[in-house]
Structure 1
Amino acid sequence: MTTVLVVDDQPLVRAGLTALLTAAPGFEVVGEAGDGVRAVECAREKRPDVVLMDIRMPVADGVTATRLIVGSDLEPLPRILILTTFDLDEYVYEALQAGASGFLLKEAEPASLLAAIGAVAAGDMLFAPTVTRRLIDAFVDRYRPPAPAAEQALRLEPLTTREREVLSLVATGGTNGDIARRLMITEGTVKTHLSRVMAKLDLTSRAQAVVVAYETGLVTAAR
């Protein structure tokens, strides 16, 4: 059973999401919140597996709430699935940096929502490859810190050649299965390499690994 906390400032949206999840087998809504502060409180009280997090909310936005939840002492940490309109939300890249585990467009079909929650809960794919590319292409140049190229490159120095390959493929939207086939290794080996990447770079989520790949120039945004 995957437990879910629904966070959105619109009561009708929360009600719709809650009704959908309640009717779906394998999911349980353990709480709702209408702002970022309450979201953090509920995450601590209810210990959900996944938080469906809106971005634009009163009191504290979804980026702030995500950062506080991911940086908390909760064990295990809830995984954050961001709900976004994308074209309007300019905080998406910041949410990536804050440690969000995935993104879902608000116009997604119900089946896609359930699949996304299940995938994030399992620690698998954080979002569809097409969404990954759109997000990165739109936001990476805008938010990339102006650190010198040499300084950025030093961040990747601890990684082996294979670990860099895995990181670059993750950043372009590859699933573990995709990467395994591409590199002709097992999915278990992919997971091992990615775990080592995250440990060496002091990252807490796969999403942050995507950010680092673009910030360091290991992968560049398409033009």
Structure 2
Amino acid sequence: MQMLEVTRIRILVAHANPLIAVGLATALRRSEDFDVAVDGIDVGPGAALPDVVVADCETGLRRAAAHREARGTAAPRVLVMCGQLREHEVRRALEQGVHGYLPLDSAIDEFVHGVRTVARGARYLAPSTAQCMADSLTREALTAREAEVLDLLACGQCNKSIARQLDIAVGTVKAHVKAIMAKLDASSRTQAVSVAAQRGLVTLADRPAAFA
């Protein structure tokens, strides 16, 4: 009886953290139909184009942008593995051409399933990510600038400090803070940061005690 040849999926792991990259590659190599390489370790510039690129968020966005600009080639699909589930980052990734998004604490089976789904041409979001995005559809999204102001608020910075860092007027910062509080249905800056943390818009790790 003639054995059917298994179609192999070529995967490039391009996570910015080398230890995480090796760990992701090790998990993927458990599947016999995966050909896995780690960017900068196993492959050079002349390597064959992969079917799927597994990356951190920023690397994934850069890869997706480069693939959009490359014409006449079959661009690989991008799956992002990210440590923190942040609503605006997930939204930005999907809008800019990323095909899959999973948290780093995903189970290995779910990770492998996500890679296979993306390789088949479909999109894949981890259940927690999908729920987060579904919930966000009922709320007005923060703008990119509001997200920057919110992150600095979570660091405990005052309006003047935020204005200096973002090179904008203090009055503009106040307007952004007012809009953030309205969108998060918060009555104070502290409550806004707390609500944002619950929604994954900011992380309070290593933040001042007032917001931790």
TM-score class normalised by the smaller sequence: 0.5 to 0.7
Q: Over residues 158-207 of structure 1, what are the superposed CA-to-partner deviations in whole Å (9 max), with x where a residue is unaligned?
A: xxxxxxxxxxxxxxxxxxxxxxxxxxxxxxxxxxxxxxxxxxxxxxxxxx
Q: Is the 8 A contact 1:8 1:33 kept in 2?
A: no
Unaligned runs of 5+ in 2: 1-7, 145-212
Among all aligned residue pairs of Structure 1 and Structure 2, give the percentage whose two residues are the same amino acid.
22
Q: Structure 1 residues 11 and 88 mapped into 2: Cα distance closer, same or farther (>3 Å)?
A: same
After TM superposition, the structure 1 stretch with the greater mean CA deviation from structure 2, 100-109 or 120-129, is 120-129
Whether 2:25 is the aligned partner of 1:18: answer yes
Q: Distance in 2 between matches of 1:72 and 1:63?
A: 14
Give the residue type in structure 1 aligned to 2:103. L
Q: Over residues 63-89 of structure 1, what are the superposed CA-to-partner deviations in whole Å (9 max), with x where a residue is unaligned?
A: 233211233226221111111234357
Match of 1:54 among 41, 53, 56: 56
Matched position secondary structure for 2:74:
coil
RMSD: 3.1
Q: Over residues 27-82 of structure 1, what are the superposed CA-to-partner deviations in whole Å (9 max), with x where a residue is unaligned?
A: 11134259xxxx9x86x8431000001014xxxx4323321123322622111111
Q: Distance in 1 between matches of 2:40 and 2:64?
A: 13
Q: Distance in 2 between matches of 1:52 and 1:89?
A: 20
**TM-score, with length taken from structure 1:** 0.51
Q: Distance in 2 between matches of 1:74 and 1:29?
A: 24
Matched position secondary structure for 1:9:
coil
Q: Structure 1 residues 90 and 16 mapped into 2: Cα distance closer, same or farther (>3 Å)?
A: same
Unaligned runs of 5+ in 1: 145-223
- Which structure 2 residues correspond to residues 82-161 of structure 1 after superposition, within 5 A? 82-88=80-86, 90-128=88-126, 130-135=128-133, 137-138=135-136, 141-143=141-143
| Structure whose CA Rg is larger | 2
Which residue number corresponds to residue 10 of structure 2?
A: 3
Q: Is the 8 A contact 1:85 1:107 kept in 2?
A: yes
Deviation at 1:130, TM superposition (A): 4.6
Q: Over residues 101-121 of structure 1, what are the superposed CA-to-partner deviations in whole Å (9 max), with x where a residue is unaligned?
A: 111111001111111100110
Give the residue type in structure 2 aligned to 1:119. T
Q: Structure 1 residues 89 and 45 mapped into 2: Cα distance closer, same or farther (>3 Å)?
A: farther
Q: Structure 1 residues 122 and 62 mapped into 2: Cα distance closer, same or farther (>3 Å)?
A: closer
Q: Structure 1 residues 67 and 129 mapped into 2: Cα distance closer, same or farther (>3 Å)?
A: same
